[in-house]
A and B are shown apart, each in its own frame.
Chain A
Amino acid sequence: MQPVATTFFFYFLAALTLAGGVLVITRKNPVHSALALIIALLAQAGLYLMLYAPFVAGVQIILYAGGIMVLFLFVIMLVNLERSQREEQFNKQWLLGIIAATALGALFITIFVRGRAIFPVHIAAVAEESNTQEIGLMLYGNYMFTFEIASLLLLVAIIGAVVMAKKRI
């Protein structure tokens, strides 16, 4: 499939991601924040598509937008929101925040300016057609151990969540 209007789509999706991200932290209503986060995640899925990684994009939609965010919304709706809405949104750690933001911004600017030197130009072979297979081989071949460790961690997290949430086991 021929790429269509790549530059335009990149900036469009990037802007959407950023706008979603900004809305997440500025909206007072947590449900609105969650919805903005969904927009950001979907835009990210589009970016993955542009990187010729359709499988990652599909998984992003299924897991993040369709699964995790639904559970987020689920929890947000169940807990009492009125109190958190009345509270002031930003906490008192603004100094720390500014330092962190400056550091991150400096990092971004450095990479933007010296990017070509740090990351040499290397256009990977487009693997759109075999993307799924490649990921499968990577996960179950080269990164088998890491993958298994991650799944074990998730299992521990699940058990922990059940122990914390369940009243009587």
Chain B
Amino acid sequence: MSASDEVALDLEGVSKTFLGVRALTDAGIVCRRGEVHALVGENGAGKSTLIKVASGALLPDSGTVHIGGVRLEHASPVTARRLGLLTAYQDTSLVTSMTVAENMVLSEYGVRRMGIRLRRESAAKILAPFDLPFGPGELVSSLSPASRQLLEVARAMAHHPKVLLLDEPTAALDAENIQRLEALIASSLDEGAAILYISHRLDEVQRIAARLTVIRDGKIQGTYGRGEWSTDDSTAVDDIVALMVGARTDLAFPAKPGIPDDAPEVLRATEFRGPRFGPVNLHVKAGEIVGIAGADGNGQRQLVRSLVGLLHGAGEVEVAGKIADIHSPAAAIANGITFVSGDRVAESAFRDLSVMENSTISLGQELGPVGLVMRTRQRRLFRDAATSLSTVFASPDQPMAQLSGGNQQKAVLSRAILRPTPLLVVDEPTQGVDARARLEIYRALRRQADDGAAIIVNSSESSELEGLCDRVYVFSRGTVVKELTGDGVHESAIVDAFVNVKREPTSSEIAAEQETSFAASHPIRRMARSPWTPMLFVVLLTLLLAVYTATRSDVFFGSSNLSSLFVLMLPLAAVAFGQQFALLTAGFDISVGSAMSLVVVVASFWVTSDGFGSVLIGIIGCLFVGVTIGLLNGFIVRVIGINAIVATIATFGMIHGVAILLRPAPDGAVSFGLTETLNTQIGFMPIALIVIVGFAIAAEIWMRATTSGLRWRAAGLDEEASRRTGLPVQRIKISAYVMCSLLAAVAGLLLAVQVGVGDNNVGAGFALPSFTACFLGGAALTGGRGSFIGVMIGALFLSLLTNAVPLVDLPVATIQVATGVLTIVAVIAYAYSGKGNLDGRRKRPRPGGPQAGTAEPRESLEARIKSQQSPADIGQGA
């Protein structure tokens, strides 16, 4: 038994502060081999911060982490993984657009090999003992949330970890899958793993945990052995709940005046359902504050968002007796529903605008006639609202970003106070708000209710609901499991209701799952998402164009024309291959055109003699220029953190400037033996074509069949998941810029051979076609997609266009028009075929723009505080 006493994970005195908010205070926890150690606590108690510190994702302010007796020196996921600590995250670290097998391989980085070539087979072998309800070839996005969660856990276990962190692993699971998970945990324990199990569901903890630690407000409340709280003793459970909830907070909530029976009903929702919730029946009277409670992720958020038009719900909603059609937020407002989002950074604060602007933005006529904003009126209205809420600020013109969370929240709430509607829906009214501001917010809400508004408050803090609400609906798995009224509205009653809930999948969950599997198996959807579809389309287009041109021109199929076509295609193909590397990792490089020009100019100095040695040195010099440009771009974009578009526009100008400086006018002669070589043919195939096809195939194989190609794709598809899996994201992305510029340099050399003279602007026209070729091949700006063979065909098509247009007697300008139109068509086609994506993320292709995510897990408090920490007046993080 001595082995089971061995300490596998030891956290000591860990503290972490985010911008003045203490997330962890002197927290310590010890996990031993072969046992499950449960960590329980309410929402926001500091559980996830503790996990991030243990897994190396977060550097603590003080304290140490030891894994298997070795100190974790550098806070990075890959170091922790090397030491044998694996983490299964609640919102998973899987790249959803990849298959199960590919995700398994990704997890290998820096840890342990599971076999490279026959991935699917080896993944199947590794996953076999876990007995999972899906195959290795399936796309993760087509799996149900429960299956994804199981995969996340199984993937971590496949590494035979010394320490396994399981973050709320059962949140998405039904009873059957929970049994499955518990079997997995048992087998992992047999191997001697130490498991830190984070949960807020006490029934599970009772079944599997040998030890239990309670955390509240970032402080460890105590650790208890199994003997100290027996499974059948219900008083013990109450004690644990009491520890989680803590001492009663002595906040003086505003008095609840009670609702008269004859108060008119403002909201009545009948059989209301939507994504991840329902059907539910809700009603709220005028003057009433109704709370929505539950553990995070049980559909409360979706319900609230459906009520205010941000998601689409079905069922009947009546506001003040009239049926309301809520298809958008604007429609919700028109129907008398105001929404105050809890996600200040993403959805309610205009951080760069002033407090006054933020408070008065919803006002209309009150600000001035004929659409004018009169500053005096604006100031007066603002001052009234600010006084009633005791908002603190230095000047009405102070930017929102400089205020504390509490004052920001008050400014946001001012909108609802200045422009009251019959129904006010507030999501997390006091998240990240200090104690005093909380009270003022509660009072303001109560005042609104006293003035006749009906208010719905969704909150993950049960104590807040107890103090504030007249009535509370408790949610679990998307339905109301309990309705508490009057004196029954108690924190412990609320927590009790969702901690001790019987779990059975609701009809909406089953429906969601069925829909998922249907969508995944639908052949048309599947075809639309296949990487080969865009390519097929372009091949058809190319053939069509070729046949048409051949009918109109005799010379087209002549071997000299074809040969020159392929030679012309070389530079474009090379630079487009480069662009594809950048796009693969969600990068972007518009400076390739200038890079090509510069290399042509440099070649006109260095690659001038026919001597093999000096030509070789010259070529190497040119490639070196390319690498330097790539490093510069990578540095500016990834290290300094300037948006790729702007950064490469700037380097575009600078590189072009250098080219002009070197050759103010076309001069010098490029000559090397390649000119003839490229034009010679083997059989009827020009060498040029063989080179291009060879590179495309090699790159395609690299991308699809090697682990490094897989990692590059993963880094492009989902940077956060890749980082959690321990991939060297930064290195990959900078390498992609280098690769891009290097190939642009190759393209420059090939172009130099064709033009033969140092012209400083000869590459400029290649920037747009380099993108067009990639998009025709199926690439996307969001990264991770595309195909090198597709790029080649795209480049062939564009070259063919250039070649064919004069042959069929069309004006040359047609080429430009066609290229532009094709680019847009290709991007639109991709955008629409991509809508079949089931991960529910509509990534908006805008740098750093907040995502209007629908079903995404809510950002943690820490993440939000961190994002507040980042530059206030730019929105270009990514």
Judge: A and B partners, yes or no: no
